[in-house]
Structure 1
Amino acid sequence: MGGSHVLALVVAHPDDDAYGLAGTVALHERDPGFRFVLIHATDGGAGGVDPAYPPLNEPLGQVRRREMEAAWTAHGRPPDRHEWLDYDDGTLSDVPRTELVERIGGILAQERPDVVATFGPDGITGHPDHIAVGAATDAAFELLRTDGGPGLRRLLHGAMRRSTWERWNRGRIRHGLEPWNEARVYDLRPVPDELIGIEVDVRSVAGRVVAGLMEHRTQRYAVSPGVPSDAQEDAGWSRTSGAEPLVIAWPPRPPGAPVLGDVFEGLD
């Protein structure tokens, strides 16, 4: 089911997919042949819950599954295919690598997407689940890329520019918040600016990215601290959601190559 506008995103938890590529999906939603495939390894059932959220009367994982669906409905362009791998939250580093590669690779083999996106080696936050699912996706991509079939033309890693990270950290300090420590698990981790190979300008659809983010209500403390309950009040958060920087993990990017403006640029 290959094509130049098929995008697959492989993540660990609900809300991992709410930023990083949501703007790109919105920009391409009407493209002929555009198809969006989303894979979640876990339902995030072992995560924390925002203190402002009402007491739960059901497993957190069930709530987070509904939040994921509500988020993409609010965004306006749900995935064409969505798969839960149903691993327990927090256990992905214990899953045999070959099993995780086979599970992810099986879906990618059916879809043959031209662009696959996942976490890089830093997991963006150092979360072991992020790192495990990213490494398995990389391995599955490499196996399929070399099998002679269509698709699998570009592998992307979600990332944050160091310059952005430093600017945001200065803002945290000004507001009396503890600065991020890139060596601490769950804190954001940057990559050098020169490693960013794609940066998509999604300012025109940032409101849709924010609308999706805000549906992850149990995770508000983690994914969007300080975001108001009314998206219309949220000009500040929309500004921070206006760009999607990505590292091109495959094909190799020559040093000094220009930064592309779209995940599909140069593939047609």
Structure 2
Amino acid sequence: MTRRIVLVHAHPDDETLTCGTTMAHHAARGDEVHVVTCTLGEEGEVIPANLRHLEGHPADLLAAHRRGELSAALAALGAHGHVLGENGLGARRYRDSGMAGSAAAARREAFVNADLSEAGAALAGLLRDLRPDALVTYDPDGGYRHPDHIQAHRLTRAALDGLADGELPTRTLEIRTPRTWAEQDRAWTREADSAAYGLVVLAPEDTHPPSVVDDDEITHVVEDPSTRANKLAAMRAHATQVIVATDDLHALSNLIARRTTDREAFRQVDPRTWEPVPIAARRPGPVADLIG
């Protein structure tokens, strides 16, 4: 019996940066991995100088370019791609909303303004067809409070609400980071030669995003060093958005140094209430992948 995972993400590159290890790990095991991307990232900031003409172009040239980046990244990770509003996944495609309060967020076609009953029904239809063993998306804060990430969470909730109990995924999980990892990775960037690559290192007192939680709240972990080449290839495919400084160090357009790791973590939630599923029975540690 084919085992399947569906991941719902806001923009191209989100899938690789938050779940690249997990996707490559499960694909290598023979599991089907499906990624739903809600927008094509039209409001993204372009890093390479030779591609900067794409940024803010009135014809949204960046969308087509990032579609290509997404396809290459998913191929490197062994995943199948679906764009919301295309190829039967809904009647309309949504545009990147940009940050809260931006002009992009006020546009009618912005994802943040999507009719969630309509978009949720489209995603529910895909879930009925695929019957995933695991469904993954962001926490209610969208990981770091980006409006489209929060809307992707709401979209997933709307889709689950449209499913009968017998149609629900076996496991529903939100992307989280254990506090120990977050602190280790930030310390690593301070010790690495990040400045040599023009990158900024966060101070110990800088706050972590809301996706960071206490270690004992994590229910599932994927750690797989054998996926490193796949993840790096996917990151390099997203060239407009990601700087791959070394095999261990990367950054986005804000130039904040980030450690590239082979580990990702999740918290299982109730698909109806989104309350965390108790993990007391799983001591002494979290499950070692998503559907094993």
TM-score range for the pair, normalised by the shorter chain length: 0.7 to 0.9
Amino acid at match of 2:207: N
- Partners of 2:159 and 2:183 lie apart in 1 by 33
Which structure has the higher relative contact order (CA within 8 Å, separation 6+)? Answer: 1
Give yes or no for contact 2:36–2:83 (8 Å, CA) kept in 1.
yes
Give yes or no for contact 2:12–2:41 (8 Å, CA) kept in 1.
yes
1:31-42 to 2 correspondences below 5 Å: 31=29, 34-42=31-39
- Partners of 1:141 and 1:165 lie apart in 2 by 30
Q: Tell me, what secondary structure is at the counterpart of 2:177?
A: coil
Give RMSD over aligned pairs: 2.7
Counterpart position of 1:140: 159
Counterpart position of 2:95: 88
Amino acid at match of 1:113: P
Counterpart position of 2:260: 240
Decide whether aligned partners of structure 1 residues 53 and 261 sit closer, same or farther in structure 2, where only a CA change above 3 A counts.
farther
Q: How far is 1:72 from its partner?
A: 2.2
Q: How far is 1:46 from its partner?
A: 1.1
- Partners of 2:50 and 2:139 lie apart in 1 by 31
Deviations 1:55-78 (A, max 9, x none): 335711111101111112334x13
1:153 to 170, 177, 186: 170
1:104 to 123, 128, 151: 123
Q: Tell me, what secondary structure is at the counterpart of 1:89?
A: coil
Decide whether aligned partners of structure 1 residues 107 and 210 sit closer, same or farther in structure 2, where only a CA change above 3 A counts.
same
Q: Tell me, what secondary structure is at the counterpart of 1:55?
A: helix
- Partners of 2:129 and 2:149 lie apart in 1 by 23
Counterpart position of 1:214: 236
- Partners of 1:78 and 1:93 lie apart in 2 by 26
2:74 to 72, 92, 106: 72
Q: How far is 1:37 from its partner?
A: 1.8
Question: Larger deviation: 49-58 or 188-197?
Answer: 49-58
Counterpart position of 1:20: 18
Amino acid at match of 1:62: A
Q: Which blocks of at least 5 consecutive residues in structure 1 are unaligned?
A: none
Counterpart position of 2:51: 54
Give yes or no for contact 1:144–1:152 (8 Å, CA) kept in 2.
no
Q: Tell me, what secondary structure is at the counterpart of 2:34?
A: strand
Give yes or no for contact 1:4–1:114 (8 Å, CA) kept in 2.
no
Question: Larger deviation: 23-32 or 119-128?
Answer: 23-32
Counterpart position of 2:145: 126
The alignment covers a number of residue pairs equal to 245
- Partners of 1:53 and 1:144 lie apart in 2 by 46
Counterpart position of 1:249: 269
User: What TM-score do the two structures reach when normalised by structure 1?
Assistant: 0.80
Aligned identity (percent) is 28
Q: How far is 1:239 from its partner?
A: 7.3
Decide whether aligned partners of structure 1 residues 178 and 22 sit closer, same or farther in structure 2, where only a CA change above 3 A counts.
closer
- Partners of 2:162 and 2:148 lie apart in 1 by 21
Decide whether aligned partners of structure 1 residues 83 and 55 sit closer, same or farther in structure 2, where only a CA change above 3 A counts.
closer
- Mapped pair 1:199 → 2:233: no
Q: Which 4+ residue blocks in structure 1 deviate beyond 4 angstroms?
A: 171-176, 235-239
Deviations 1:35-90 (A, max 9, x none): 22221110001111115453335711111101111112334x131x5234320101
- Partners of 2:73 and 2:131 lie apart in 1 by 26
Give yes or no for contact 1:100–1:133 (8 Å, CA) kept in 2.
no
- Partners of 2:291 and 2:123 lie apart in 1 by 22
Give yes or no for contact 1:117–1:155 (8 Å, CA) kept in 2.
yes
Give yes or no for contact 1:165–1:190 (8 Å, CA) kept in 2.
yes
Decide whether aligned partners of structure 1 residues 20 and 55 sit closer, same or farther in structure 2, where only a CA change above 3 A counts.
closer
Q: Which blocks of at least 5 consecutive residues in structure 2 are unaligned?
A: 55-59, 86-92, 98-109, 195-199, 251-257
User: What TM-score do the two structures reach when normalised by structure 2?
Assistant: 0.74
